């Protein structure tokens, strides 16, 4: 674990030195800490949800693709959020063809997937200083 943390820190430092962030966005540490603390909770919830669905095949599923409208500006923040959004239970990002929406594959389109994505995207944007 210490080697991994050191490697991640050095990689982040090298990335910021080689390609400094553009624009007025600045990290907001309290909001970023909130995201980091939510990571294990979201990951655990996603794992439990998928396990529950696998072990109880009688659950009515309505799989499908939903379109989440982007609130983040185009750029690396969108890619980072798409990666983060894969932690939400029952959904996985599936691309963005039109540039205005994120296609999300869902196990159950009856769940509030788009509302959860909008909430998480707003938190992510605050952590990055985008609003």
Q: Taking residues 51-78, what's their average pLDDT?
A: 85
The pLDDT tens digits of the residues spanning 2-54 come to 899 999 999 988 988 887 766 655 767 787 788 778 878 878 887 888 788 77
The pLDDT tens digits of the residues spanning 96-118 come to 877 889 999 988 888 888 998 99
Residue 89, phi then psi, degrees to nearest 5: -60, 135
CA dihedral for 58, 64, 67, 71, sign (positive or negative): positive
Contact 102, 67 (CB under 8 A): yes
Global confidence as pTM: 0.69
Beta pairing partners, 64: 106
Other C-beta atoms lying within 10 Å of the C-beta of residue 23? 10
């Amino acid at each position: 674990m210490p080697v991994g943390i050191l490697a991640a820190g050095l990689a982040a430092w090298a990335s910021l030195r080689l390609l400094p962030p553009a624009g007025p966005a600045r990290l907001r540490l309290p909001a970023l800490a909130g995201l980091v603390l939510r990571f294990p909770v979201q990951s655990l919830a996603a794992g439990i949800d998928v396990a529950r669905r696998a072990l109880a095949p009688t659950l009515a599923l309505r799989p499908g693709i939903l379109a989440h409208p982007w609130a983040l500006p185009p750029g690396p923040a969108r890619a980072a959020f798409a990666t983060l959004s894969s932690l939400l239970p029952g959904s996985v990002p599936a691309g963005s063809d039109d540039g205005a929406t994120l296609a999300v594959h869902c196990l159950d389109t009856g769940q509030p997937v788009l509302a959860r994505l909008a909430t998480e995207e707003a938190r992510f944007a605050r952590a990055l200083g985008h609003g």
